[in-house]
Structures are given as C-alpha cells and as structure tokens.
Amino acid sequence: MQKGDIVKVDYELRIKETGKVIDTTSAESAKASGTFDEKAHYGPMPMIVGAGRTIKGFEEAIANAEIGKEASIEIAPKEAYGERDAAKVETISIHEFRKQDIELYPGATVQAKGKTGTVQTITPGRVRVDFNHPLAGKTLVYKFKIAGKSETAEEKINDIVGMHYTMPEEFGVKIEGDAATITLADICKYDPNWPPAKYKIVGDIREYGGVGTVRLIEEYVKKEAPKAETEEKTEEKKQ
C-alpha cells in the first residue's frame, strides 16, 4: 500500500487480556460478542493509508498488508493508547459536575478541566475521575483483511463521504476533468451533522480524491401534480 491510498478494511478488535471484542465491522461478530447495535452500519470500513487516523500499530499493519489476505496483529500499549498513567487519575470537587447538571455514577463519561474521563468512585463532596484512555495499558489484537482499494476518483469520493458522514449511495458524483460535482443527499438539507462533516469531506477529497475542484449541489425539485389532478383542473377552466 502507498500513503494516501483509500482502502476498505474488515476487522475485529479484541483486548488480549480478556478476549473481549470491543469493535468490529462484522454484524455476525457483533451479535456473537453481544456488542451488536441496530443503529450501527456494518461492513468494510474505508480508511486512508498513512493519514494517522488510527493507532500507530494498526496504521503500520494496514500499510504493509496485502489485498484479500487475512492477517492478525498484536499491538502493545505503547503502539496503541499508551500505558496507564497514575497522574491522570484525579479527585475533583463534586460541585464541578453539579454546575454541568449531569448524572454521576461509576463508569460515567464526564468532562472536567477540558478533558474527558471516566468516573471511578463517588464520595461525599468528591469524585475520582480517570483521565486515561479507556484502552490505556491494554494489549490489542486486530484480526483484519483489506477487502479492496479504491481506484477511480468516483470510488475515492464515495469512500471519503462514507468516512465522515453516512449513506454515500445517496450522493451523486460526476467527474469532469479535474473537477468533481457532488449532488448532496436530501438529508443534508436539514441534518445538523452535515455542516461539520462537509469541511472534512471537501478537505479529504482535495488531498486524496484525485481532483482539484469540488462542487457541492443541493437540488430542490418542484413536484409535479398528479396527471389526473392536472386534467381535472384543465376541464374546470374550459367550463
């Protein structure tokens, strides 16, 4: 694989110490492990080789993989989410969280001091929060396969849309020379998640999509009246 290639990856991620599946692109694997989410999309995940958007160990494994060949890699904490750091476990006044009006319980994800952490314990007036990444100190095992690589500009753009948004099949893509014209899915007209995703999509298309110009089109098509209704109105005018 070359840096900047866009590939589709099937994978299953487990914690070595427990064997627990924590992420997968397979619906069957998710159901078997009890992690299935009806709202989630399952299937090969598009990734940009060398873009630095996944942990270092897996990034390197993807770059050295062969299309269609299953592989497995064990990733030590230093190549994943780092070792646990006791200094990142802090005791914070409960008043800090009451200001946010959030429910506190062991295991809850909270924001404090500009960081995201997990509540460990709650005592009168104090909350113990772990700001380590939940997978810090864990050895991870990836079982994966490169299902394919995008070759054309249209394929690359569809995959980039899928990385940052949803339903790439609802977008229309037309390539003319060095320009891509993308007709947006109807959901983009009212979905608040679209504006932030748009900038990421356009940025990646410029860098990895193989085109220099990106045009985004919103279509608002006037619906024609049913034929029977139109004929009825015409008859009324004649009378």
Of the candidate CATH numbers 3.30.70.2210, 3.40.50.720, 2.60.40.1120, 3.40.50.300, the domain formed by 151-224 belongs to: 3.30.70.2210
Q: Lowest-confidence range among 97-106, 154-163, 218-227?
A: 218-227
Quote the CA–CA distance of 188 and 166 in Å, as a whole number: 10
Quote the CA–CA distance of 51 and 210 in Å, as a whole number: 16
Reported as a single tens digit per residue, the pLDDT across 28-76 is 999 999 999 998 889 999 999 999 999 999 999 999 999 999 999 999 9
Spell out the residues 6+ positions from residue 45 whose beta carbon is closer than 8 angstroms to its own. Answer: 8, 9, 10, 11, 25
Reported as a single tens digit per residue, the pLDDT across 75-113 is 999 999 999 999 999 999 998 888 888 889 999 999 988
Written as six digits, the tokens of 177 are 């020379």
pTM, two decimals, is 0.80
Alpha helices in 14-164 (DSSP H): 27-33, 56-63, 95-98, 153-164
* Residues 7/150, Cβ–Cβ less than 8 Å: yes
Structural domain boundaries in the chain: 1-83+135-149, 86-130, 151-224
Q: Please, what is the Cα angle at 92 between 91 and 97, to 5 degrees? A: 145
Spell out the residues 6+ positions from residue 72 whose beta carbon is closer than 8 angstroms to its own. Answer: 141, 142, 143, 144
